[in-house]
Structure 1
């Protein structure tokens, strides 16, 4: 699952892949935003931990699982 996080006043977004489902990620994001700790913690499919301050989040986009295309698309 692809996750993209827009950061306020930053020209680029944070983008990574996760092995969790969309429902699991949405629940984790909601819990992080409402917990009051001030940070959102997410882990990618390689085990790296991303800690993002919730005050700086502009948006969070959780993509769908899509198989990669091989070859030319006409």
Structure 2
């Protein structure tokens, strides 16, 4: 599953490739909701390869959850 996060006053968004399992999706969504509600000062996310990314909660502009990697369509027929 891909996640795109927009950061205020930054020209590019952050793109992360997350694990595709349901448990990971639920945990990630809960962490994002807590950050947006102000319950945590920093949103920490760990991608599929184990790389950790920290984003200050107050600077998050938007969060977009993409389709699972198996559902991606490529080419002219998509």
What TM-score results when the alignment is normalised by the length of structure 1?
A: 0.79
- Structure 2 equivalent of residue 7 of structure 1: 7
1:29 equivalent in alignment to 2:50: no
Deviates more, 1:18-27 or 1:40-49: 18-27
Unaligned runs of 5+ in 2: none
1:60 equivalent in alignment to 2:49: no
Larger proportion of helix:
2
How much has 1:32 moved relative to structure 2? 3.4
4+ residue stretches of structure 1 with deviation over 3 A?
A: none
1:42 equivalent in alignment to 2:14: no
User: RMSD of the TM alignment (CA)?
Assistant: 2.0
Aligned length: 72
2:49 aligned counterpart, secondary structure: coil
